[in-house]
Amino acid sequence: MTDVESFRAELVKFLEHELPTQLGELPPPTGDYWGGRKPELPHPQSRRYCELMAARGLTAPTWPKEYGGGGLDKEQAKIFLAELRRLGLPLPLVGFGLSMIGPTLLQFGTEDQKREHLPKIVRGEIRWAQGYSEPNAGSDLASLAASARIAGDEIVINGQKIWTSYADKADWMFGIFRTDAGGKKQEGITFLLLDMAQPGVEVRPIKLISGASPFCETFFTDARAHTKDIIFGIGKGWTVAKALLGHERTMIGDVFGAGAGARNTVATGNPLAELAREYLGDRDGRIAEPVLRDRVAQVSMDERCFALTTQRSADSLKAGHKPGPESSIFKIYGTELNQRRHELMLSLRGPACLGWEGPGFDERELVQTRDWLRSRGNSIEGGTSEVQLNIIAKHVLGLPD
Amino acid sequence: MQLILTEDQTLLSRTANDFVMGAPPIARLRKLRDTRDERGYALDRWAKMAELGWTAIPFTEQDGGLGMGLAEVVLVTEAMGKGLAPEPYIPSIMLAGRAIALGGSAAHKASWLRAAITGEKILALAHTRRQGRFDLARVPVRATPAGGGFRLTGQATQVWGGYLADAYVVAARTAGQDGDREGITLFLVPAQAQGLASERQHRVDSQNVAQLTFNDVDVREADVLGGTGQGHALLGRVVDEATVALAGEMLGGMTEALDRTLTYLRERRQFGVPIGSFQALKHRAARLYIELELSRSAVMAAARALDAQSADAAQLVSLAKARLSEAYCMVANEAVQMHGGIGMTDEHDIGFFMKRARACEMTFGDAAYHRDRFAALGGY
């Protein structure tokens, strides 16, 4: 048996036999588990499932073993994800620990910092929030003003962050704060980690146009952090912050890219076409409204093409090439494509797309309304489309400032 | 399906680019146009392309080819598209040559295909007519049985590479009604056939296209490619392959048009600064770059799907041609706009790309045609 085969056999034994023996009922493939000190359980067994997977490093399959990761190479990680899909199992754990601060610590953290924070992320013990944007520092992030004053081993923090996703549910925050107000604005910024369970930190959820509150305002009044939790040194936070934004954009691009790809294979058919049939009817095997049929084809083709582009980028990485310039387009194209998809779904449903709540609308229509409104934020969060275009123009096309 | 280039493919791409871009390519096209060159392309360049092995790429070794596929073909056509090289690669090799390779007899291959591969003979496909738009079932010629063979009448227009070609693959109706898939037959007809007249047509992109008039042209039963009445499937396959080759050309053209525009944005100064520093232009240039990257994926995927004969190959062909049709025209339009007044002059080269973009769009189906086809293939 080759190494790959024995790896798969071992994994399947664990997933198919050990897990069910230990857990009885397994969680369904939908419903994300975010972990944390006060975890929300999408399924009664979500926490146990996460812990059993974490014991084998499978919540962070590619991280090094010494920090609790699985130590898998890319091919093994691919097999792991494929087996989860095959068995209809969810990812054991999601969150900004795994997707954002973890990779950043692996890149910039000291040995002590990695040993302190990474295992807790892997085990799902700490849920993280991102403290970046401020009311007056959005696209111009480097102009941030929330201050961090060093006082011996301690850091005293004052000011405000905004758009901190799920801050009301998070335990720790990674963020950027101003340690020096003089000089170039990028130079006085420090990247640090702090525990949010303290009197100086107050969190208020923000209600969005979709009615949901995934984002918060976070206020700091003499909040405390420790100098040992400064990442990469005082005044060097901008470098770390930019690298982390890279991880964030990759994550957002992946989400939309993979989603688009999965939606449009020969095997799964085309959900947009099915929706069109349901609301518009069918004439001689074709969607009855030719103009909307053309739009269904257009969006479906664009989704397919986007999925091919993310595949091309992944193939190139697997072949050992550096990330190509094509990866810079994922965030902007993926999010705008998702918006076009939602707008097309509104058109296909017609007036039924307007339901907010109550009778006369079915559940899918009501969910669609909220999803459409939420999708408008995709091209704003994580760097607006306009900022992405600036980045492409400058770094890929070499156009002058 | 892996969407990356192998080492051999990277090498082929580099050689092709060096050859096409070696001599100032647009100046060459301009001269062919301005001297009203009757062929509109250069036979000596064509001979060199054959020498480089490009013409042998898509044929089996048994047929005198290199046994490679569309994944390699699109690298050649991409390079040709960058330099707007007008040599008849797609008409002679991808259309007529492939039709003979797939449907021809040993005799057809011996007398025509080998000579097409060596570059000694030039072939073309006559399958379009004035009112046919892009429907392959609306063929330009009617064939009636006569003397054990057939007699052809009709007129084909915009036959790509057709003026001064040595032989034609002709799509004719031998049975049924206009628009039926059944009853179409492909014939191999030498240019000197009695009753066949060829006229050079002049198009916006200066390429060699011909109007062919068939006035009772007699052909033998032996000159049928594929089966009598069975030509639609063969025609469809050959046109799908050529469509991907053309999408490769379009990818090259839009890459070059964008490249030239970016150079202009960096160099041209107004208000005391390079115009490329204006955000209104930066953002539009970045949008064009996004289109370019998506287009490259579409071309690579369609080429590989056809090579592997995957179930979704036809859909990917339409995906590529629809996207490239819109993206190349958009890049070309924006290229002229960003060049400003100079972009409107005949003296500047950028206008050549806009003209070729339109011609490519209108060959083998525009974006609307291919979206309709993509949807129909998807069952909606």
Tens of pLDDT, residue by residue over B4-57, are 999 999 999 999 999 999 989 999 999 999 999 999 999 999 999 999 999 999
Which CATH number, 3.40.50.300, 1.10.540.10, 3.20.20.80, 1.10.3720.10, labels domain B7-121?
Answer: 1.10.540.10
When scoring A303, A312, A330 by the number of chain B Cβ atoms within 10 A, the one with the most, hence best to mutate, is: A312
Question: Which of B282, B289, B375 lies at the smallest CB-CB distance from A390?
Answer: B282
Question: Which of B4, B282, B323 lies at the smallest CB-CB distance from A305?
Answer: B323
Per the DSSP assignment, residues forming a β-bridge with A131 are A175
* Chain B residues within an 8 Å CB radius of A389: 282-283, 286-287
* Chain A residues within an 8 Å CB radius of B289: 329, 392, 396-397
Residue A264's pLDDT is 46
What percentage of chain A has pLDDT greater than the value 90?
A: 83
Distance from CA of A212 to the nearest CA of B (A): 32
**What is the phi/psi pair of residue A128, to 5°?**
-105, 150
Chain segment A225-245, per-residue pLDDT in tens? 999 999 999 999 999 999 998
Residue A256 has pLDDT above 90, yes or no: no
A271 near B CB under 8 A: no
SS3 for chain B is: CCCCCCHHHHHHHHHHHHHHHHCCHHHHHHHHHHCCCCCCCCHHHHHHHHHCCHHHCCCCCCCCCCCCCHHHHHHHHHHHHHCCCCCCHHHHHHHHHHHHHHHCCHHHHHHHHHHHHHCCCCEEEECCCCCCCCCCCCCCEEEEEECCEEEEEEEEEEEECCCCCCEEEEEEECCCCCCCCCCEEEEEEECCCCCEEEEEECCCCCCCEEEEEEEEEEECHHHEECCCCEHHHHHHHHHHHHHHHHHHHHHHHHHHHHHHHHHHHHHCEECCEEHHHCHHHHHHHHHHHHHHHHHHHHHHHHHHHHHCCCCCHHHHHHHHHHHHHHHHHHHHHHHHHHHHHHHHCCCCCHHHHHHHHHHHHCCCCCHHHHHHHHHHHCCC
Prediction ipTM score? 0.96
Which CATH number, 3.40.630.10, 3.40.190.10, 2.40.110.10, 3.40.50.300, labels domain B125-229?
Answer: 2.40.110.10
Query: Chain-wide mean pLDDT for chain B?
Result: 97
**What is the band of A382 on the pLDDT scale with cuts at 50, 70, 90?**
confident
Residue A177's pLDDT is 98
Tokens of A106: 């692996």
The nearest alpha carbon in chain A to B312 belongs to A266
Q: Cβ B283–A393 below 8 Å, yes or no?
A: yes
* Chain A residues within an 8 Å CB radius of B308: none
Residue B284's pLDDT is 98
* Chain A residues within an 8 Å CB radius of B281: 399
Q: Cβ B265–A399 below 8 Å, yes or no?
A: yes
Select the highest-mean-pLDDT range: A39-53, A234-248, A316-330. Answer: A39-53
Q: Cβ B380–A399 below 8 Å, yes or no?
A: no
Residue B298's pLDDT is 98
The nearest alpha carbon in chain A to B287 belongs to A389
So where are chain B's domains? 7-121, 125-229, 233-377
Chain segment B291-313, per-residue pLDDT in tens? 999 999 999 999 999 999 999 99
B69 near A CB under 8 A: no
B237 near A CB under 8 A: no
Kindly state the DSSP code that residue A98 receives in the 8-state scheme: I
Handedness of CA B243, B247, B249, B250 (dihedral sign): positive
* Chain B residues within an 8 Å CB radius of A309: 293-294, 297
Distance from CA of A336 to the nearest CA of B (A): 12
Q: Cβ B3–A390 below 8 Å, yes or no?
A: no
Residue B349's pLDDT is 98
**What is the band of A318 on the pLDDT scale with cuts at 50, 70, 90?**
confident
Q: Cβ A305–B297 below 8 Å, yes or no?
A: yes
* Chain B residues within an 8 Å CB radius of A294: 368, 371-372, 375
Chain segment B65-115, per-residue pLDDT in tens? 999 999 999 999 999 999 999 999 999 999 999 999 999 999 999 999 999
What is the spatial distance between Cα A329 and Cα A331, in angstroms, rounded to a whole number? 6
The angle at the Cα of A152, spanning A149 to A157, to the nearest 5 degrees, equals: 25
What percentage of chain A has pLDDT greater than the value 70?
A: 95
What is the spatial distance between Cα A93 and Cα A39, in angstroms, rounded to a whole number? 11
When scoring B289, B370, B373 by the number of chain A Cβ atoms within 10 A, the one with the most, hence best to mutate, is: B289
What is the spatial distance between Cα A253 and Cα A311, in angstroms, rounded to a whole number? 12
Q: Cβ A401–B276 below 8 Å, yes or no?
A: no
What is the spatial distance between Cα A112 and Cα A122, in angstroms, rounded to a whole number? 16
Handedness of CA B3, A29, A329, A375 (dihedral sign): positive
* Chain A residues within an 8 Å CB radius of B266: 398-400
Residue B32's pLDDT is 97
* Chain B residues within an 8 Å CB radius of A396: 286, 289
Residue B301's pLDDT is 98
**What is the band of B117 on the pLDDT scale with cuts at 50, 70, 90?**
very high
A296 near B CB under 8 A: yes
- Choose the catalytic residue: A248, A326, A343, A365: A248
**What is the band of A263 on the pLDDT scale with cuts at 50, 70, 90?**
very low
Distance from CA of B198 to the nearest CA of A (A): 39
B293 near A CB under 8 A: yes
- A40 given a catalytic annotation: no
Query: Chain-wide mean pLDDT for chain A?
Result: 92
> Which domains are delineated in chain A?
3-122 (1.10.540.10), 128-235 (2.40.110.10), 241-396 (1.20.140.10)
A315 near B CB under 8 A: yes
Chain segment A348-378, per-residue pLDDT in tens? 999 999 999 999 999 999 999 999 999 999 9
B265 near A CB under 8 A: yes
- What is the topology classification, in CATH, of domain B233-377? Butyryl-CoA Dehydrogenase, subunit A; domain 3 (1.20.140)
